Amino acid sequence: MTISHRTIGAGGQKVLVLHDWFGTSAGWGQFLDHLDRDTFGYAFLDYRGYGERRDVDGEFTLAEIASDALALADRLGWDEFSVVGHSMGGKAAQRVLAEAPQRVRKLVGVTPVPASAFPLEGGMDDLFHGAPEHAANRRAILDLVTGNRACGRWLDAMTARSVAGSRPEAMGAYLRDWSTQDFAAKVAGSTLPVKVFVGEHDPALSAEVMRGTWLAHYPQAELEVLTNSGHYPMHEVPVAFATALEAFLRD
């Protein structure tokens, strides 16, 4: 099976990048323009049901993402690599670590879902579970997690790309998995170098949430709060985010 992905850079420090619930391998905005392509070699994976793999069937689970990610690393000849995951991709990145701890050099969570269960409470449950079938729900979520600060043109464009880039049944299945799975015991205590980025205007995956989850699970984890950003630093503060990310990844 072909595992569709995008590569940027040919440097010796390899980095596997996992996208969010709304995104694809192409959904990283201007952030991509600022990456150090001489030092790093990045591979951006599309999940089954998303992007260039929109028509690929599967179980649509985090375990499947991790399996495909490791298969991609094998195909690229990467014995060791860092893993960067955004939001849902942050939980999938931890699943990669759980499955192949000896291969992961560094781990980065970007406004990431924790390895523990992340139940959606109150009105959030209906809002999120309605998103696969309703574009208006997706737009409302994007507005919420960026702190109700983004312009309508950006919200409309991100919503349209999300609808075009994902199958509703895949999106629904991934939601059920990332909100309910709890494999924290498999990664807790890992002394791997870990960096967690959150946006100061993200009300859901906040610094407080990270201190109770990611920082509790990883003794060596460090947290950075990105100013003037919400849930999408790659779009909201691309230069600052690329600079901070590579400062951590660089040997």
CB 19 within 8 A of CB 89: yes
Per-residue pLDDT reduced to its tens digit, 174-183: 999 999 999 9
The reported pLDDT for the residue numbered 2 is: 65
> What pLDDT score was predicted for residue 1?
60
pLDDT score of 251: 82
Cα–Cα distance for residue pair 202/193, rounded to 1 Å: 24
Q: What is the pLDDT of residues 88-146, one digit of tens each?
A: 999 999 999 999 999 999 999 999 999 999 999 888 999 999 999 999 999 999 999 99
Please give the pLDDT value at position 5.
82
| Residue listed under structure tokens 């960026």 | 146
What are the structural domains of the chain? 5-249 (3.40.50.1820)
247, with CB counted inside 10 A (0-12, 13-18, 19+), is exposed
pLDDT at 121 (0 to 100): 84
- Interval 226-244: pLDDT, tens: 999 999 999 999 999 999 9
Q: What is the mean pLDDT of the chain?
A: 96
Nearest to 36 by CA among 6, 5, 9: 9
User: Which is more confidently placed, 228 or 3?
Assistant: 228
Contact 19, 44 (CB under 8 A): yes
